[in-house]
A = this chain, B = another copy of it.
């Protein structure tokens, strides 16, 4: 893992901490969103397995150190600093909510407690990894909710923000409830079902659509999905049936999907293929899926690309990673930021989830009748036991989402989707730290 895949200032601060003798003070940082993104009632936490893998494998290569040595920012950093970086290992603790947990504004998804320097450097990577996967898992959960039991498959790598984003989108979408992905590497790396049959270029590459269909059937047999809109959708549906053999179904990728799906359904049924399914693709999102189903479109499965893999209506959320506590020897100090509209709550926290609300309290509080969501996953640089499999995380997300009130799971924005109280201890600490300033 490239340790310099981070903002330069993390590294200049590291040099400064080292120079100031603060590098080994124990810092606690929390990763959370200040506000939910527009159009969202919750976030599904995802990407935590990759965050942990990154921390456990964080190293500076020789090439990276040579590069840093040449930067003017490190001119006054001594050889001891670079020597330390060459032996860098993450030795701290990580607490995280289980992947698939729905979280809300202000709730820590991940807490890192480590020597200041070790906790600071990973900020950028952790935000990018957990932030992006949570964004996609959330979008997927909304589309899956809309599809009301029908399969939603993630198809978006081509429109993702680079190839890696496509691989990660496949994983995150699965955590959020998708049935699988078209990204083959995502399938191999993460053990996710992969889907896909043929594109328009397949049809175009043959002299006729009929020949293209026949050749595809030779390869895939009864599992074949025929893409029928290259030339004329209804004609394509007829040609699929004219092979006279059972097939999985057809895919529509353009035009009026509601009207076409009904017409295609009629063609399939009257040709004696009532079992053949209809899959729809083409810039689908949760709203379009809901509209199609409300219009009675007989669609059995949805493929979601651009809108899902880029979370198009909310392509970012303001995830932050904030210092909440710092300890030097026996002295511990809670800390917070008082900037206009960007103030933070001091102290290492815990999310206590009750049946109908959360209490955001301090990590040391003891509470009954609720679940403490942040759990240790790494202690002293060592992973704790096996983490859930991705199938378990997906199932956990499904159960947690099902337990939310219907309107929170729905497509419309709810003003206060989930009640979050601050504990008395947290309020008192905030007062003590920021009282004079806020």
Q: Which positions in A face B, CB cutoff 8 Å?
A: 2, 4-13, 15-17, 19-20, 22, 25, 27, 29, 63-64, 67-68, 71-73, 76-77, 116, 120, 123-125, 127-129, 131-133, 135, 155, 157-169, 182-185, 187-188, 194-202, 204-207, 215-216, 218-221, 223, 229-233, 253-255, 306, 310-312, 315-316, 318-319, 321-323, 326, 333, 335-342, 437
| New A-B contacts (8) at CB < 8 Å, excluding given A16-B215, A73-B223, A128-B166 | A9-B199, A16-B216, A72-B223, A73-B196, A76-B221, A124-B166, A161-B168, A231-B437
The answer to whether A338 and B8 touch across the interface, beta carbons within 8 angstroms, is: no
Inside 8 A of A64's CB, which chain B residues have their CB? 185, 188
The answer to whether A187 and B8 touch across the interface, beta carbons within 8 angstroms, is: yes
In the complex, what residue of chain B is closest to A5 when comparing beta carbons? B185
Give the CA-CA distance A168 to B166 in the complex, in Å: 14
Which of B157, B159, B229 contacts A339 (CB under 8 A)? B229
CB contact under 8 A between A322 and B201, given known A163-B128, A164-B165: yes
The answer to whether A159 and B12 touch across the interface, beta carbons within 8 angstroms, is: no
The answer to whether B158 and A20 touch across the interface, beta carbons within 8 angstroms, is: no
The answer to whether A131 and B116 touch across the interface, beta carbons within 8 angstroms, is: no
Give the CA-CA distance A188 to B77 in the complex, in Å: 19
Q: How far is the CB of A56 from chain B (nearest CB, A)?
A: 15
22 A-B pairs in the complex with CB atoms less than 8 angstroms apart: A5-B163, A6-B184, A9-B182, A11-B184, A12-B219, A15-B219, A16-B198, A64-B185, A71-B194, A72-B223, A76-B218, A76-B219, A124-B163, A159-B318, A161-B162, A161-B165, A165-B165, A200-B339, A205-B326, A230-B337, A254-B339, A315-B315
Q: How far is the CB of A301 from chain B (nearest CB, A)?
A: 15
Inside 8 A of A341's CB, which chain B residues have their CB? 254-255
CB contact under 8 A between A219 and B16, given known A7-B182, A306-B318, A322-B201: yes
Which 10 residue pairs across A and B have the least CB separation, nearest first? A9-B196, A8-B196, A161-B161, A164-B164, A315-B315, A127-B158, A201-B323, A4-B184, A161-B165, A7-B182
Inside 8 A of A255's CB, which chain B residues have their CB? 339-341
In the complex, what residue of chain B is closest to A341 when comparing beta carbons? B254
Inside 8 A of A27's CB, which chain B residues have their CB? 201, 205
Q: How far is the CB of A400 from chain B (nearest CB, A)?
A: 24
Give the CA-CA distance A123 to B218 in the complex, in Å: 24
Inside 8 A of A165's CB, which chain B residues have their CB? 128, 132, 161-162, 164-165
The answer to whether A7 and B158 touch across the interface, beta carbons within 8 angstroms, is: yes
CB contact under 8 A between A188 and B4, given known A72-B223, A165-B165: yes
The answer to whether B164 and A162 touch across the interface, beta carbons within 8 angstroms, is: yes
Inside 8 A of A163's CB, which chain B residues have their CB? 5, 124-125, 128-129, 164
Q: How far is the CB of A74 from chain B (nearest CB, A)?
A: 9
In the complex, what residue of chain B is closest to A7 when comparing beta carbons? B182
Which of B67, B162, B326 contacts A162 (CB under 8 A)? B162
A4, A22, A120, A315: residue with the most chain B Cβ atoms closer than 10 Å = A315
Give the CA-CA distance A275 to B194 in the complex, in Å: 59
Give the CA-CA distance A162 to B160 in the complex, in Å: 10
The answer to whether A5 and B184 touch across the interface, beta carbons within 8 angstroms, is: yes
The answer to whether B316 and A7 touch across the interface, beta carbons within 8 angstroms, is: no
The answer to whether B322 and A312 touch across the interface, beta carbons within 8 angstroms, is: no
Inside 8 A of A218's CB, which chain B residues have their CB? 16, 19-20, 76
The answer to whether B116 and A205 touch across the interface, beta carbons within 8 angstroms, is: yes
Q: How far is the CB of A304 from chain B (nearest CB, A)?
A: 13
In the complex, what residue of chain B is closest to A54 when comparing beta carbons? B163
Q: How far is the CB of A198 from chain B (nearest CB, A)?
A: 5
Give the CA-CA distance A198 to B120 in the complex, in Å: 11
Inside 8 A of A155's CB, which chain B residues have their CB? 7
Which of B6, B131, B197, B215 contacts A19 (CB under 8 A)? B215
The answer to whether B76 and A7 touch across the interface, beta carbons within 8 angstroms, is: no
